[in-house]
Amino acid sequence: MNIKGQTIKSIEEKAKNIKLLILDVDGVMTDGSIILDNEGNEYKRFNVRDGHGIKMLGKAGIKVGIITGRKSRVVEIRAKELGITEVHQRVFKKSLVYERLLKKYKCTDENVAFMGDDIVDVELLKRAGLSAVPADADELTKEYASLVTRKNGGRGAVREFTDLILKASGLWAKAAGEFLD
């Protein structure tokens, strides 16, 4: 993971404050491909390890939400599988939903981690206490993130970020302990 202009200690301090992770979908939870068949059905491919990282965050008490510009039934299905109840689709001004989530969960910017991948995510990348983009994110967008993962979107980037949050905040044992005993 590329920690941009920060120290591991500063990232650890930020991670300790995280209560809410917000994710974009296309290019973050998926590789950004949108597959349509002749009937207009949409298909997306999600990474199972990313999903497990999201489940471990929940187990550790960190809430996870989705804010995405597109609307897809596939996203609703995947979110339900992962226990994500905050699913906001067809959102063109992500900061409006972000503000509502801050109020709902009694959070400040410092309590939020955000992962996006493109220019529409810059506003939240700048605001969130801890922000990340996948390795294959838009080059301009990378400039606004705290971290750039080694992995690409839909290929383990989310897991890399969730593991970092859990380990740096001291919640790793709570989230993963049963698997390691």
Q: What residue spans define the domains of the chain?
A: 2-110+136-141+156-176
Residue, of 138 and 7, whose pLDDT is higher: 138
CB-side neighbour CA atoms (13 Å) of 39: 2
Quick one: pLDDT band at residue 5, thresholds 50, 70, 90? low
- What's the DSSP call for residue 164? H
- State the Cα–Cα distance between residues 94 and 167, nearest whole angstrom: 28
- State the Cα–Cα distance between residues 32 and 46, nearest whole angstrom: 10
pLDDT digits (tens, 9 = 90+) for 41-68: 889 999 999 999 999 999 999 999 999 9
CB-side neighbour CA atoms (13 Å) of 73: 5
Average pLDDT over residues 147-166: 96
- State the Cα–Cα distance between residues 21 and 171, nearest whole angstrom: 14
Q: Are the beta carbons of 118 and 124 closer than 8 angstroms?
A: no
pLDDT of residue 88: 98
Q: Are the beta carbons of 157 and 115 closer than 8 angstroms?
A: yes
CATH domain 2-110+136-141+156-176 topology: Rossmann fold (3.40.50)
Residue 177 has pLDDT above 80, yes or no: no
